[in-house]
Structure 1
Amino acid sequence: MSNVDAWELGKSRVNALALTPRRPTPKSYVQALEGRVASLETFIQKLASSDDKERQAMLDEAGSSSYTESAAAVDGQDEGERLSPARAGQLRKTRFGSSAHFYGGTSLYHIRMSETDSVSLPVVVDSTFDAETAPTDMTETMFGQTLWNSYPIQFAPHDDVSQRLMAAFFKCQYQYSMCIYRERFLRDYDTGGGRHYSDLLLYAICATGALATNEALLSEIFANQAQALLYPSLNHPDLTVLQALILLGQLEIGRGRASKGWLFCGMAFRLAHEMGLHLDPNNWHNAQDPDVEREILRRVYWAAFVVDKQLSLFFGRPPALYPQVSDVRGTERIPYPPDWANLLDTYIAPDTSVTAFEDSPSLVNGLIYRIELYRIVHTMITEVFENRRTNAGGTVVADTITRIHLSLTRWLAGLPSNLHWNQWTINQLPRWVYHLHLLFHTVMTILHRPPSQLLQKPESSFDRDDIDICYESLGAMLRLLRSYGRFYSYKHLPLDFVQTLSTAAGTILMRRHLDHLPWVDAETSRSLDLVIEAMEDIKDTWPCVKEILNSVLNARQTEAATMPDVDPVMDFDFLAAEPPALLDMDGAEWPSFDDMMTRSTLSGGVD
């Protein structure tokens, strides 16, 4: 190409960009930038007024992104309460055995109790393995070896039921579980075997797809079939084992068997490192692998990365996959293979054109921006909520939240037009666009919501700007729920939707508490009704939501019978007949809810 041609080409591109309409910069992004500048100005002013020792301590802390008590000392006050405390988290004993579950500051069970209660108790689900309902197909032997008795395979891979549930998964749920490259999976399924297919993975897909068709019994059957194949597969695991573990792990967590699901997903993340997926395929200099195969490996890693952050938020626990030890390139769209139209017609959507099935650029963009969102979430988890950090406080703490908030608003402002949504959007959008914005506002709320113990103090104790941001995100979540519900079923949304509903319900209850609103307040009632309706809709798909739902319903129903000085927002034992004991971080057992009510009756208030 000559210099003249290059010049003309460059000119035409500039003109095209100039003519392309661009969305105005969102107000939230401008406000975030202003907040960041104000935070830096405050930091500079304090540097100028500090002595050499204090100045050096502030610079060292800001440069290393570590949080120490020195910043609080420089400030003259402890602003660390804006974050969850460094050792935030609760242990809950299980009903059977001697194990306990840990739930941290970002957990979906983070809903406050009574405003008169000095002890912040965790809202946690009893995800205990029930010995009475345990499957009989598993026996354990010495040395920890697990052997599975022969489980009767009720549905063969090419059975009509298997194909129907597989199709339901790819129609309704694949958009949120792109750890599988659908086109290669179906190609190998069609031919009877290959690198991207296994019966184990198929049964995991069918177990998940049965949730979309409201067939819980079939989901259980296919999950059992998959798990019967899982343990032998661990002797020589391949990519399909990792993919199946991710699906089965989320399935078990959603059913309330949190420990089992957490272990399955943890195995998947370990396999990601064991298989070298955390290093870009180009590092291996394997010229035999085509570009598509390399892109599939990248996509599997990033899908595992996303699930890792989802579960980290869900339970309030440290993540397993760190960006610092990975150099995997971003994923991109993979063109449809030549035989895709036939595979689509045969196994997913008969008599449907390729272009009508889904908007592929939008779908892959959704995955790319979901990954970018969870990269920010990783920073939020490790720099704000992770227990390994030291005592946080002072100017640097506030600056950390401001910095992450700015990253989130920059992410939102940078979304392409095919992923854009705002409160004035009335047209139907792809389901993954609504989901992406629900995730964003869930994360924004978790970042800014005050710790539970701070809500027990006078309103001046916490930053009102944080509260306002939570309310703004709540409004967006409610509008998104209404829009999504007009066009799609809530049942098709993934497990993280449970945390979105829990976060929305918690924010509604927080607003009711802070603004001293009655349950019959129109806005409170209308908002809570919408969230409860969504919980009711998904309670058979994701049974773990039932305990949150029941506690909210119980709070409303028992208001009249509750003592006037106690807010019945949450029964943190979830109305359990034999509630597990709650432990603080020193191992002391907290008083039960009934004990606190008794003390309240005797002393005129809750201890």
Structure 2
Amino acid sequence: MLTKTALSLRVAVELLSNRVNQLCHFINQNGLQPPPVPPDEDKSLTRILDTLGLSKVRVTLDTTAVLPVDPALVVDTQAGASDSDALNSMLTPGQLPAVDSAAFDMHVTTEGPAASPWNQLQEVASRRIAEWNWSSPAPDYVVTTGGHVSGIHAPSHPLLNSYPEGPPSDNDSDSGSTEEDLVNQLSDRLGSLQIGPNGRIAYYGPTSNFSLVEMPAGSDSLAVDRTVRDDGQEHLNSLGYGKKIPPDLEDHLINLYFAWQDPFSHMVDRTLYEEAKMKWFEREEDTPYYSEALRNAMCSLGATFETKYHPSFVTFPKSLSDFFAARAKTLLEIELDSPSVSTVQAMVVLSSHEIGANRDSRGWLYSGMALRLAFDLALHKDMTSFIAKGILTPAEAELRRAVFWGTFAVDQTLGYYRGRPFRISMDDITVQKPGGGLPDTPLTRWLPYTFPVNSQPSPISLDDHIESVSRWRIELCEIMAPLGDTLYGNSKIPKRILQENNERVVTQLFTWRDRLPECLRVNPDDTKGSYLPHVLLLHMQYFQNVIHSHRPWMSSSYLQPQPPRGPGNMHAQHMCIESATAIAKLIQIYERQYSLKRVNVQGVSVIFSASIMLIFASMSRHRRNRTAETATHLSVCFRALDALSSSWECAKRSRDFLLTLQRKWELRSRKMFQNARKVGPATTPASGYVAQGDGARKRARTNSPSGSRSASSYQSMSPARSGGRRGEDHEGIDMDMRLDLDWVFAAGAQSVPANWDNLIPPDAMFFNHHPTE
């Protein structure tokens, strides 16, 4: 914006030059003789005006041309001359581009009021403004220096009308207020919410022009040429999925979904779902809280907890779960033409099914699509004002809140599972987290549903805390969100900064666990207590996050800063192994209470991470006092994956991968151990062994890829031991073993190549135990 102190140099020269020309005509008209101009200044002024293409200011009396003079232009001659001189002294020829001299010919005569020279000047100046180069590298502004310019009135130029001239009219205040409202609307940078047909709330961001005005309902209805109500069954029949679903089978699968899948990945409010379903079928009313895609998606996940093929409802060759998933995908494609909240829910549920069925790419895409659609439907915005206006009920607003944050949590956990980037701006989110609940919402009871009630005695129920679990799980995801963008997949951040950020995240993790309410606390060593399955899964995810936050630091050379700083790689190994052990204990509690046939799909990822760490811990050959316990915990993980294989194909893949990994690690370590025994019990220090009697400890060879650092130097990086203990704070696990597995610590296990064992140098796997202290 131009101001009095910053004005384009080119327009200033043009306007002031013509102003001086007008003053000269005024002087000649009154028979006055202007003062002479020094020769050198006259030459400079002539050269400048010629460069601009302007007429040379007349200095002689000319009685043949008399121009009308605006009374407002009558000013003090000396002031005008001094201002012109000050201007001339500030200009250089390089700053003045050429312009058309005809544009400023003050003798051009036309008929009517438009013949005024100021009208010509305004027209030409407006035309020249569009041609200016506003990014000139040279300074192109004039700074006033206190000269006598107060008598000069700026002409009516668009860039110079900073203040209104003349007394305001009666309508100025109203028109100004209206204009200010329009300006504020154009300047909005937060976007707006709009309500479309069937109560569909859409969010238009500030850069979208559609945020300026709310379109009438149904204005975009012509874009939807098919609906599930009219065309859904036809599409299902054409693909062979149009069989009529028995109501008792559907109810059974929906009950399984709400008992075992939804409580930990809470997306659907059953009360609202049933009410909306009744409206859709009985009243034939479209509602944003029910869709056929959602119904079939929930049946597909419920079917994963049943036998693969139903005895009476034949879906062969597809399994029962895949049959319902195929129906949901077909209907979802139609729903995307006019999506709603239930469409987001269906995508998230289908995402879990696809991940469980080993279709990872499609599952990850579904979760990402659901998150984008959640933003499109304004699920990330606070709906308090809509509740006050009666547009939404408190229960509907609570559901929107749960759907958005549930989508956020699922997408992030899948990002960690697949090693994919997770990036979302938290600054634009204004919706509160779930967990507050409605004022009159009674505490519900959770039942470990497996079969219809009429054929099975009612089991013991527990107080359900599904909203609290959701809120604390979301906080856990928020804590881990920065690591997905910094610690993993980013090689440009200095190690010191990574370590500081990681320390803050770990502190937040520990604080998160300490702040848990009593109803969500779990003691992994408690073998008699009763816990909700989703509370056990919440703690499993916590310990998995501890592994994620420490695993890249397990290597002594990959990420640890040099010189050593912080707890060191031994501490990272300890934290990962202890967290994996805690997960194994939680699995045992889960198995004792509910069996391992029905576990949320997120449990597969957690068990997979724990198994990797336990296999790593089992590689130590010289500290056998805890080997049996480690083997027991590892067996629990393998048994869990084996049981989950009947429900989730990804569990079978993880189990097969772990068996292959364990076999190759053991073969490699056995070979290295045999080669080490051939050297003999006592060798020279140069060969890497030091005789210490029965407690002789083998050191890594000095020519190992990690360098010539001795094992004792790695010991110095582990946490300080108190009371002179021999490292028993690590519970007997050999924390000095020289197993060079940086490629495991730095990358996801699923990215390991088939020939991974060839990547490990033959002298990289020697195991050491602590010396006698």
State if a TM-score over 0.5 links the two structures: yes
* Structure-1 separation of matches of 2:372 and 2:524: 41
Question: Do the aligned partners of residues 203 and 455 (structure 1) sit closer, same or farther apart at CA in structure 2, a change above 3 Å counting?
Answer: farther
Any unmatched runs of 5+ in structure 1? Answer: 1-146, 568-583
- Residue 498 of structure 1 aligns with an amino acid whose one-letter code is V
Report the CA distance between 1:474 and its aligned residue: 2.1
* Structure-2 separation of matches of 1:172 and 1:559: 36
**TM-score, scaled relative to structure 2:** 0.50
Report the CA distance between 1:283 and its aligned residue: 5.6
* Structure-1 separation of matches of 2:458 and 2:378: 34
* Structure-2 separation of matches of 1:458 and 1:414: 30
* Correspondence list, 1:222-233, <5 A: 222-233=324-335
The alignment status of 1:539 with 2:630, answered yes or no, reads no
- Residue 325 of structure 1 aligns with an amino acid whose one-letter code is D
Of the candidates 394, 408, 411, which is equivalent to residue 305 of structure 1? 408
* Structure-2 separation of matches of 1:372 and 1:558: 39
Farther-moved stretch of structure 1 (154-163 vs 234-243): 154-163
Alignment-derived partner of residue 416 in structure 1: 517
* Structure-2 separation of matches of 1:252 and 1:314: 13
Q: Kindly indicate whether the alpha-carbon contact (under 8 Å) linking 1:211 and 1:491 is maintained by their aligned counterparts in 2.
A: no
- Residue 366 of structure 1 aligns with an amino acid whose one-letter code is V
> What is the aligned length?
431
Farther-moved stretch of structure 1 (209-218 vs 482-491): 209-218
Per-residue Cα deviation, 1:14-51 (whole angstroms, up to 9, x for no partner): xxxxxxxxxxxxxxxxxxxxxxxxxxxxxxxxxxxxxx
Question: Do the aligned partners of residues 222 and 376 (structure 1) sit closer, same or farther apart at CA in structure 2, a change above 3 Å counting?
Answer: same
Question: Do the aligned partners of residues 386 and 492 (structure 1) sit closer, same or farther apart at CA in structure 2, a change above 3 Å counting?
Answer: same
Report the CA distance between 1:412 and its aligned residue: 0.5
The alignment status of 1:196 with 2:289, answered yes or no, reads yes
Of the candidates 610, 618, 621, which is equivalent to residue 512 of structure 1? 618
The alignment status of 1:290 with 2:393, answered yes or no, reads yes
Of the candidates 538, 551, 554, which is equivalent to residue 449 of structure 1? 551
* Structure-1 separation of matches of 2:260 and 2:374: 26
* Structure-1 separation of matches of 2:540 and 2:335: 36
* Structure-2 separation of matches of 1:367 and 1:594: 39
Alignment-derived partner of residue 364 in structure 1: 467
The alignment status of 1:252 with 2:349, answered yes or no, reads no
Alignment-derived partner of residue 54 in structure 1: none
* Correspondence list, 1:101-140, <5 A: none
* Correspondence list, 1:350-361, <5 A: 358-360=462-464
* Structure-2 separation of matches of 1:227 and 1:498: 24
- Residue 596 of structure 1 aligns with an amino acid whose one-letter code is N
Question: Do the aligned partners of residues 348 and 191 (structure 1) sit closer, same or farther apart at CA in structure 2, a change above 3 Å counting?
Answer: farther
Per-residue Cα deviation, 1:483-502 (whole angstroms, up to 9, x for no partner): 11100133322222112111
Of the candidates 479, 486, 502, which is equivalent to residue 592 of structure 2? 486
- Residue 202 of structure 1 aligns with an amino acid whose one-letter code is R
Question: Do the aligned partners of residues 325 and 458 (structure 1) sit closer, same or farther apart at CA in structure 2, a change above 3 Å counting?
Answer: closer
Report the CA distance between 1:215 and its aligned residue: 2.9
Question: Do the aligned partners of residues 189 and 505 (structure 1) sit closer, same or farther apart at CA in structure 2, a change above 3 Å counting?
Answer: same
* Correspondence list, 1:305-384, <5 A: 305-331=408-434, 332-334=436-438, 358-360=462-464, 362-384=465-487
Question: Do the aligned partners of residues 560 and 423 (structure 1) sit closer, same or farther apart at CA in structure 2, a change above 3 Å counting?
Answer: closer
Alignment-derived partner of residue 427 in structure 1: 529
Question: Do the aligned partners of residues 337 and 185 (structure 1) sit closer, same or farther apart at CA in structure 2, a change above 3 Å counting?
Answer: farther
Larger C-alpha radius of gyration, 1 or 2? 2
* Correspondence list, 1:492-571, <5 A: 492-513=598-619, 521-555=627-661, 564-565=670-671
Q: Kindly indicate whether the alpha-carbon contact (under 8 Å) linking 1:565 and 1:605 is maintained by their aligned counterparts in 2.
A: no
Q: Kindly indicate whether the alpha-carbon contact (under 8 Å) linking 2:479 and 2:505 is maintained by their aligned counterparts in 1.
A: yes
Alignment-derived partner of residue 440 in structure 1: 542
Question: Do the aligned partners of residues 233 and 466 (structure 1) sit closer, same or farther apart at CA in structure 2, a change above 3 Å counting?
Answer: same
Report the CA distance between 1:552 and its aligned residue: 2.7
Question: Do the aligned partners of residues 494 and 292 (structure 1) sit closer, same or farther apart at CA in structure 2, a change above 3 Å counting?
Answer: same
Q: Kindly indicate whether the alpha-carbon contact (under 8 Å) linking 2:581 and 2:614 is maintained by their aligned counterparts in 1.
A: no
* Structure-2 separation of matches of 1:236 and 1:348: 36
- Residue 397 of structure 2 aligns with an amino acid whose one-letter code is R
Q: Kindly indicate whether the alpha-carbon contact (under 8 Å) linking 1:175 and 1:363 is maintained by their aligned counterparts in 2.
A: yes
Report the CA distance between 1:221 and its aligned residue: 0.8
Report the CA distance between 1:214 and its aligned residue: 3.3
SS in 1 for 2:578: helix
Structure of greater relative contact order (alpha carbons < 8 Å, 6+ residues apart): 1
Aligned-residue sequence identity (percent) comes to: 24
The alignment status of 1:470 with 2:581, answered yes or no, reads no
SS in 2 for 1:277: coil
Report the CA distance between 1:558 and its aligned residue: 6.7
SS in 1 for 2:523: coil
Alignment-derived partner of residue 206 in structure 1: 299
* Structure-2 separation of matches of 1:507 and 1:280: 42
Question: Do the aligned partners of residues 321 and 516 (structure 1) sit closer, same or farther apart at CA in structure 2, a change above 3 Å counting?
Answer: farther
- Residue 253 of structure 2 aligns with an amino acid whose one-letter code is L
* Structure-2 separation of matches of 1:302 and 1:434: 20
Q: Kindly indicate whether the alpha-carbon contact (under 8 Å) linking 1:419 and 1:433 is maintained by their aligned counterparts in 2.
A: yes
Question: Do the aligned partners of residues 316 and 534 (structure 1) sit closer, same or farther apart at CA in structure 2, a change above 3 Å counting?
Answer: same
Report the CA distance between 1:219 and its aligned residue: 0.4
The alignment status of 1:275 with 2:377, answered yes or no, reads yes
Report the CA distance between 1:186 and its aligned residue: 1.8
Question: Do the aligned partners of residues 356 and 482 (structure 1) sit closer, same or farther apart at CA in structure 2, a change above 3 Å counting?
Answer: closer
The alignment status of 1:265 with 2:370, answered yes or no, reads no
Report the CA distance between 1:438 and its aligned residue: 0.6
* Structure-1 separation of matches of 2:481 and 2:239: 40
Q: Kindly indicate whether the alpha-carbon contact (under 8 Å) linking 2:581 and 2:610 is maintained by their aligned counterparts in 1.
A: no
Q: Kindly indicate whether the alpha-carbon contact (under 8 Å) linking 1:318 and 1:381 is maintained by their aligned counterparts in 2.
A: yes
- Residue 322 of structure 1 aligns with an amino acid whose one-letter code is S
* Structure-2 separation of matches of 1:231 and 1:400: 42
Q: Kindly indicate whether the alpha-carbon contact (under 8 Å) linking 1:183 and 1:336 is maintained by their aligned counterparts in 2.
A: no
**TM-score, scaled relative to structure 1:** 0.63
* Structure-2 separation of matches of 1:214 and 1:391: 49
* Structure-1 separation of matches of 2:420 and 2:665: 34
Of the candidates 593, 596, 607, which is equivalent to residue 755 of structure 2? 593
Bigger helix fraction: 1
Farther-moved stretch of structure 1 (196-205 vs 283-292): 283-292
Of the candidates 494, 497, 500, which is equivalent to residue 392 of structure 1? 494
Report the CA distance between 1:248 and its aligned residue: 0.6
* Structure-2 separation of matches of 1:383 and 1:204: 35
Q: Kindly indicate whether the alpha-carbon contact (under 8 Å) linking 1:170 and 1:348 is maintained by their aligned counterparts in 2.
A: no
Any unmatched runs of 5+ in structure 2? Answer: 1-234, 282-286, 310-318, 674-745, 766-773
